Structure 1
Amino acid sequence: MRKFNHIGEVIFSDDFESGSIGDVVKIANNKWDFYLADDNGDVSLPDEYRSWWYLKVDNAPTNEPVTFTIKNRGWPFYYVPVYSYDNVRWFRFNESEVYQNTNKEIVVTTTFSQSQVWIARFYPYTFSDLERFISDIERYVFFTEVEVSGYSQRQKPIYLIKLTHPHSPPENKKKVFIHARTHPAETPGSYVVEGLVKRLLNNSPESALILSKHEFYIYPMHNVDGVIAGNYRTTPKSENLEVQWKYDPLDPLNLIDGLPLEVNVIHEYARNLMTDGGPKVSMALNLHGSNSEPDTRPFFFPHFGTRAQGYSEVESNLWHKQLFFIDQMAKYYGKDMLEPTPDEGGSGFVNGGYPEAWWWANFKDSVMAMTMEVTYDRAGYAPDRITQDNMRLIGESLVSAIRDYHEFTAENSLASYRSKIKGTVTELEYPELYPPEAQDELKK
């Protein structure tokens, strides 16, 4: 339930789309403690689900410093929050204004230049932002089709963006399935989607050629209700959609009964793409954001490993395909801008209820299904920090990686994969404490 916090003449509020704060307590003149909210006020959820905050300050002092401390965080990592004077253009606080105290709390001391300001854990991206973006791209009617694929539990539209060249033969196209914002406050996925879509619609001959060879199916906001509610990880019913792709072992193409509506909407569309008699999906990307150490760069969760590590041929095939795709991504986004691939991906994901587990159970290595995690702070840009445009650049780079992946797979055998990627794999321990004590989310 939304509320206002009146502290003297300063007013703190979260009664707007995606807004969230648990409580605000004045501890001294111009000093406040911010207590984060559990998703839906549900104290039974893990502490790690308590991360997102986004609030508005009215009547903020402008002639003297103010200090606020972020309390009861579910994650121990240092970060620099963002602020805006119009709730549209966002800026990082200066690092000299932010420190982490001995209790792992984030403390910000700053002087605002305007009396109305919005502050947040990271760059927000709301459902209204998505609808504005969709309105913009619908102008590109030749390549773009936007449909409402279904409705959320609160009857909000779940949008599907379809991009392709309508006059090229569909039987020759590769189908790419992408979804983002399963965890509502993981806003990087939305900026990545914007970059990817805008790259494909930039009216260049290169993009037209890519669209002539591909069909893109993009769900830009899976957990719409959670986004609107200002949750970090769940729906308004405290459901973690990421682990709800629970299939029937006797009929794995179908999910079991009683799952959240949002999962069923996306699953049914994916299933239909694989059973409609046309070309099948060859790649499925699951876009997320990771709470990690400030210098952790974006990374992927590849699965399984090599034959020498004891994996079957088909498991090893998927591993090598995923590593090849990551290598292409690094070629365009920057080899120093991604975390290196691990020595082994592991097989624990197959029983985790993930989308990738469903793709694997039904289609094995014919679908290169994988999660990408974008990180929130320096993320490879030290001493600077990742920006909205940097995240859009990730989306642009994904387009090139998708193109090269399919060009290579169309022309080369799996043996060529192994030869081409030999020597590119370096050891990586997944970012420490990612996610802390949350093995249901560690895709190893």
Structure 2
Amino acid sequence: MKINSSFDSGNIEVVSYDDPKNITLNIATDSNSEFKQWFHFKLHGETGQTVGFEILNAQDCSYVDGWDDYQVVASYDRQYWFRVETEFTADKTLKFSKQLEQSTIFFAYFEPYSYERHQNLIQVSQLSDLCEHQVLGSTVDGRDIDLLVIGDESKERKIWVTARQHPGETMAEWCAEGLIDRLLDQNDALSRSLLDKAVFYVVPNMNVDGSYRGNLRSNAAGANLNREWQTPSLDKSPEVYHVRAKMKETGVDAYLDLHGDEALPYVFVAGTEGVPSYSDKIKSLEDEFKSVLMSVNPDFQDEFGYDKDEPGKANMTVANSWVGEEFNCLSYTLEMPFKDNANLPNKETGWSSERSYILGQTLLNPLYQLVDKLR
């Protein structure tokens, strides 16, 4: 038997595997940080063998509430990922087991989105006449900060989308891929009509270093990028520094920042109620965005989510707050679950890459309805 996490986005520490039915593990912390929750590893055993796992430090992870009603994802081919029955025990460890149908199986916190797939997304997208690939700068580890400009930059309305500031939130890049693919579909009447009026600036992965390193929330320097927007630096948070500079160059009329939430089993948004410039106009845009999205995708709801900030009490280091205030625009954080959507559960897969992708496609519907109102 062998356990390995020495690959793109791998993360696990083996404590003991003397007993195949009780393999004990720990989740490693993020690079230069104390965050931890993401795991991704491969096990090679014998077909028909039952293997059991116990993650001993689950109670010490960053979002302990995230383990309640959570189910691990697994895959034999790294294409189809299914849920494995999981228990957060009275001893505050995470336990799961699986009888092997093949000799090698992968387990993860959520379906991974590899750096290789990210590069493929960039390269394939640039083949479209509608898309230009730009490199905004370099990450801490020297990787490219990729931007896809979709549409004609002379268009008056500028719509920005960023994803995966927190690298373990892989559903965010699956969602971004869905949005990008629909924008580039020249047979889609809605996307063609939207691009007649607006240009999109899409950063599919803000944190490629953390993604590759197997981090949950931090970049290579240990920075939580979604707390760096007020005063980013080239040494600690170059990813935010360069994206923010490009935003100032282009302007922003609407902004979506794509994320995943460990604890809440819902799809929801967080707006800018707490920023100083919040107005009735922005509230109207927010309300219409939510109404249209609910009408086209029942995975989205507006009953459960984060508490709204009191007026003037927003955390201005957070992306959607800083962007909303800087550009006085519609600015949303969109959250998806690591678990399942409690309103529309799927026992086999839970919330998945496919549902994230479809959500990304349907995000264009409210933007299409609102585009003329953004200025």
**Under a length normalisation based on structure 2, what TM-score does the superposition of the two structures give?**
0.89
Tell me the distance in 1 between the aligned counterparts of 2:50 and 2:294. 42
What is the alpha-carbon distance in structure 1 between the residues aligned to residue 277 and residue 133 of structure 2? 39
Q: Per-residue deviation at 1:116?
A: 1.7
Q: How many residues align?
A: 364
SS at match of 1:350: coil
- Residues 303 and 346, structure 1, Cα contact 8 Å, conserved in 2: no
- Aligned residue for 1:174? 157
Within 5 Å, which residues of 2 pair with 1:122-201?
122-140=110-128, 142-165=129-152, 170-171=154-155, 173-201=156-184
3-state DSSP class of the match of 1:378? coil
* Alignment counterpart, residue 330 of structure 2, candidates 368, 372, 376: 368
Structure 1: gaps of 5 or more residues: 1-9, 248-254, 275-280, 306-310, 411-444
Deviation at 1:314, TM superposition (A): 4.5
What amino acid is aligned across from residue 98 of structure 2 in structure 1? T
What's 2:87 paired with?
A: 99
2:241 is aligned, of 260, 264, 267, to 264
Residue 210 of structure 1: how far off its partner (Å): 1.6
Secondary structure in structure 1 of the residue aligned to 2:106: strand
- Determine the C-alpha separation between the residues in 1 that align with 2:164 and 2:30: 15
Secondary structure at 1:192 match in 2: helix
Residues 145-179 of structure 1: CA deviation (Å, up to 9, x unaligned): 1121211111101110111158xxx34x4210111
**Is the counterpart of residue 389 in structure 1 residue 360 in structure 2?**
no
Equivalent residues of 2:272, 2:320 under 8 A apart: no
Contact 1:297 1:339 in 2 (8 A): no
Q: CA RMSD in A?
A: 2.4
| Structure 2 gap ranges (5+) | none
Residue 55, structure 1, aligned to residue 41, structure 2: yes
Aligned to 2:273: 304
Residues 312-369 of structure 1: per-residue CA shift (max 9 Å, x gap): 88434323322221222112112x63242778443466344112332244333xx111
**Greater gyration radius:** 1
Deviation, structure 1 residue 203: 2.1
Provide the C-alpha distance between the structure 2 equivalents of 1:78 and 1:35, rounded to a whole number of angstroms: 20
Where does structure 1 differ by over 6 angstroms across 4 or more consecutive aligned residues?
none
Q: Kindly indicate whether the alpha-carbon contact (under 8 Å) linking 1:303 and 1:347 is maintained by their aligned counterparts in 2.
A: no
More contact order relative to length (CA 8 Å, sep ≥ 6): 2
Aligned counterpart, 1:115: 103
The secondary structure found in structure 2 opposite 1:28 is coil
Provide the C-alpha distance between the structure 2 equivalents of 1:29 and 1:83, rounded to a whole number of angstroms: 17
Kept in 1: contact 2:266–2:304 (CA 8 A): no
Q: TM-score, normalised by structure 1?
A: 0.76
**Structure 2: distance between partners of 1:362 and 1:145:** 26
Task: Using the aligned pairs only, state the percent identity.
Answer: 23
Q: CA deviation at 1:19?
A: 0.5
Inter-CA distance 315–387: structure 2 relative to 1 (3 Å threshold): same
Q: Determine whether 1:85 maps to 2:76.
A: yes
Say whether the 8 Å CA contact 2:133–2:146 is kept in structure 1: yes
Using the alignment, how far apart are the partners of 2:223 and 2:339 within structure 1? 27
**Aligned-pair CA distance for 1:372:** 0.8
* Counterparts of 2:106 and 2:337, CA distance in 1: 22
Question: 1:80: Cα distance to partner?
Answer: 1.3
